[in-house]
Amino acid sequence: MKSAPREIITPRPKMSLTIPKGMAPVEFFNSPANLKNLAEENGLFRTPENLLMYRKLIGHSVEFDASIILDTSKRILDPLGRPVRRDQVSRNQKKVWNHMTRILFEYMLDQYPDPAKHLILCGEASLDATWPLNKPGVPSIRMIHNHFMAFPMQELETAQHANPMDPNLTDSGHHSLFLRHLSGIYHEFLEVLDLQILSPIDSAESSLKLTGYPQGLPCWEVKGGAKMLRNRYFWYEYEQVLLGFLDFYRTFFSLVATGDPLVPKQANFSQQINEVLLDSGRFQRVARDLREKVIQDPLFANEIRWRPAYKQLLYRDDSGRLIVTISQNSVGNAITELLGIVVKRKEDVEAYAAAEPGLVGRLLEARARLVEANIGEVIAAPAWATGEFVPHPV
């Protein structure tokens, strides 16, 4: 079977919300009104730290599709003042966040034990807070979130091949910065990380045979497998990967913005920035070329995310190994596209209604594990008010 990115069609229900006249969909879906509906209509579980687990109604998969978001919308009214990364939350919030992530990922491992039959992943992202401020439809949620998904491999195998130049797969061309022009130095810079549980693995070895993705990204194998998710040092190392990425991103885009090769004030690995990045003629040349393009091309300039935008994945590869990878997010490619999967949502009420009982049933099973961990309270949304799925009245 040819290795190629896949495009799948995922059914979605008819939207139950009315978008106010004169408001763009992207503006509404990222508005406080939509967030309120998200919790009341699709919420599953909330902790005292305001970590909210909810069903992704317009999601990627009807097999398993849920998210956790740090819902600070009522406590912090300024959208730009909300935490959007793990390094910005409190120690206790981070502890609970890691705990919930581990519980939900373990559920997927138990529910889908065979990597030949299901692809499972969770992806953490901070893309809302870095959306260009002069771009229409600036998101107002701006909160850290994690996405948990499962896809039947048979569905992916029979899906049509995606266009390899799809803007979602290429991040509208922005992926070339790290992968085509800076891949070598990106990998070299991240070698500074002193990791014991996460072991570097070539992306060609860890990529999915079906899609050939991820392509060129630094990847780490979780040595010891799933049991290491219960080790607090795994989560420490998981965060070190993020901190290294943040240093790389900030240094590069600071150089693009100002033209000055300086170590960012909030740098985590200052010496490595000086010795590997700022001492590299290639690193400075790519930044200089991008700087010139930003000056000359207003459309391109409008897409730049000057603040660190990332997607960090934990997924299971074909061999059953757990793999960690991280990439920048500039325009809008989703978590799945790092693994070569383009998802097209199509309104199909009947198809979604047929899949919804099974989907919600699995989400409720996963929620039961959070309840057992005694870290929060269930949310009784209308479709599962009694802890069992109840179809919407026709």
> Is residue 217 in a domain?
yes
Give yes or no for a contact between 10 and 61, defined as CB atoms under 8 angstroms apart: yes
> Is residue 107 in a domain?
yes
Domain span at residue 152 reads 6-384
For 20-44, give one letter per residue: b (16+ CB within 10 A) or e: eeeeeeebebbbeeebebbbebbbb
The model's pLDDT over 165-199, given as tens digits with 9 standing for 90+, comes to 877 776 555 555 666 778 889 889 998 898 999 99
> Is residue 1 in a domain?
no
Work out the number of other CB atoms within 10 angstroms of the CB of residue 302: 12
> Is residue 389 in a domain?
no
The model's pLDDT over 115-158, given as tens digits with 9 standing for 90+, comes to 999 999 999 887 555 555 555 555 556 678 899 999 999 999 99
The pLDDT score that the predictor gives to residue 140 is 55
> Is residue 391 in a domain?
no
Structure-derived torsion over alpha carbons of residues 174, 175, 180, 185, reported in degrees to the nearest 10: 100
> Is residue 154 in a domain?
yes
Domain count, the chain: 1
Between 345 and 26, residue with greater pLDDT: 345
Tell me the mean pLDDT in the region 231-260. Answer: 95
**How far is C-alpha 55 from the chain's CA centre?**
16
Percentage of residues of the chain with pLDDT beyond 70:
90
Rounded to whole angstroms, what are the CA distances from 264 to 125, 250, 255?
Answer: 22, 7, 10
> Is residue 393 in a domain?
no
> Is residue 246 in a domain?
yes
Percentage of residues of the chain with pLDDT beyond 90:
62
Q: Are strands 6-12 and 160-161 parallel, antiparallel or unpaired?
A: antiparallel
Give yes or no for a contact between 61 and 20, defined as CB atoms under 8 angstroms apart: no
Between 306 and 393, residue with greater pLDDT: 306
